[in-house]
Structure formats: C-alpha cells, structure tokens
C-alpha cells in the first residue's frame, strides 16, 4: 500500500484512509491483557492505522499480530516518567529493535530539562537516536508539556531536533493534561520541515482529532481510535470530513 505522510491545514478535506494513517493506536494502560492487545491489533489491521504503540514486553505479541500488514509495531522508552538512566534507555531501545519495533517513543528526562541540564538531555536523546537510526528506526521524543512553559517547549524542540529526533511529541497521556492546540502550534513552528509533530493525551473523538491535524500534526497517539474512526464513517454519510478553521 502506498501511504504518504501529509500535513493538513484548515479547510482541507480528509479521507477515512488518511485519518487512519495518522493514528498510533495506543495500548499502554498498565492493566491491558493479552486478549485486549490482540483485539487492539485487529482494530488497527482492519482500519489500516499507521501503528500500534505498546508496552515493551508486549512487542513479541504485537509483532506477530501485525505480521504481513502495513501497521507498524511501536513501543515506548523510559515510559512514563523519563527518569531511567541513559544506559537503560539505550538498552531498552536496542532490545525493542531486536524484538521488532520500527519506531520508538522515548520520554525526555523532563526533570533534568527543568533543572536546566540541557546538555544531559540532548546527549541522552542523541544516544537513543543514534542506536535507532542504525536500524532505520524512527524516534519520537515525548516532552510531557504539562510541566513546561511555552518557552521551555520551544527549547525542547531545539534540543530534540539538534539530537536528530524524527518527531517531537506532546505527552505520555499520564500527566494531568495532554495535547493542547496551542502547544502543537508552538511545536510545529519551532522545528524544521525535517521533523514531524505527534499529539498524545486526551484526543478521543473525531472533532478533537481533526482540530489537532489542523496544526500540521501528522500523528495522534490515542486509545480512542475506534470511536474516532466510527464517528468519521458516520459523518461521511452526511457529507465530507473537513479540517476545521480554529479561527472561526
């Protein structure tokens, strides 16, 4: 299947297939069972979601469930607090790649970032990026924006891009707040065209998803993929899917 990344803007029409290709179906809740993992993979397969993002120990199951499909097996590194050692994050990344991950979402050590230890943060991201890129694996860096000011989000964007990250990402979904439109706009404006933006945390319905995509964000991490896609199919019966104009 020929699928390309597309950045949307206000007024753009979007198809069900394009919408599904923005969804990283998230299966990260600590209580998710093996049966629920398999059900989530089935949902992603049937709807051609871009990926399924799971806990590291679940990768072998998910890789098997997604075999011979275009859905990407993805996992998290240093999740959800980002406070594992750099050595642990690098090992976790190597192990994830060995088990079949083709993208990793690493949590920035935002406590060190808030302490002003920018060199530490950049070096850690770069070490994970270097190991990943050796195997053509993409890296998304999670900032956990709830704890950051706008200026700090800008700084984090600069650090992540300098370290070679492929994506910058808003949240783990486990902080008190998740993806915010103003933060997504800030992130898109403060990385180059070589870096993409991913939203995560609190995007659970179609209207939220379309608003997020209007910022130029190309990925949405969500456990609400089923509802988003069902709502999209219902709306298509009435007309078309359109990215809203946030200024209206």
Confirm if 75 and 96 have CB atoms less than 8 A apart. yes
Structure tokens at 146: 């709830």
Q: Is the dihedral of CA 57, 60, 65, 68 positive or negative?
A: positive
The residue ranges of DSSP E strands in 133-247, in sequence order, are 138-142, 167-169, 196-200, 219-222
- Residue 76: in which H helix or E strand, if any? strand 72-77
Q: What share of the chain is helix, strand, coil (3-state, %, to 5)?
A: 45, 15, 40
Q: Please, which residues bridge with residue 25 across strands?
A: 52, 222
Nearest Cα residue to 88 out of 72, 102, 77, 101: 77
Q: For residue 71, give the DSSP letter.
A: P
Q: Which residues does the annotation mark as catalytic?
A: 105, 169, 198
Cis, bond preceding 217 (omega within 30 deg of 0)? no
């Amino acid at each position: 299947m020929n699928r390309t990344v597309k950045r949307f803007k206000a007024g753009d029409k979007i198809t069900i297939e394009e919408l599904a290709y923005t969804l990283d179906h998230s299966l990260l809740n600590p209580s998710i069972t093996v049966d629920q993992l398999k059900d989530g993979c089935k949902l992603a397969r049937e709807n051609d979601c871009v990926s399924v993002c799971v806990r590291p120990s679940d990768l072998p199951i998910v890789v098997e469930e997604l075999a011979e499909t275009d859905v990407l097996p993805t996992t998290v590194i240093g999740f959800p607090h980002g406070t594992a050692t750099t050595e642990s994050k690098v090992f976790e990344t190597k192990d994830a790649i060995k088990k079949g991950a083709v993208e990793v979402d690493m949590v920035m050590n935002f406590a060190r970032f808030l302490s002003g230890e920018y060199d530490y943060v950049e070096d850690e991201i770069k070490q994970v990026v270097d190991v990943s890129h050796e195997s053509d694996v993409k890296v998304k860096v999670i900032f956990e924006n709830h704890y950051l000011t706008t200026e700090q989000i800008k700084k984090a964007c600069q650090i992540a891009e300098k370290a070679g990250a492929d994506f910058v990402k808003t949240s783990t979904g486990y902080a008190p707040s998740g993806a915010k439109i103003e933060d997504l706009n800030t992130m898109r404006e403060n990385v180059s065209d070589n870096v993409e933006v991913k939203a995560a945390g609190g995007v659970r319905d179609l209207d939220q998803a379309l608003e997020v995509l209007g910022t130029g964000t190309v990925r949405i991490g969500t456990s609400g993929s089923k509802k988003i896609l069902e709502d999209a199919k219902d709306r298509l019966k009435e007309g078309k899917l359109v990215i809203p104009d946030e200024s209206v």
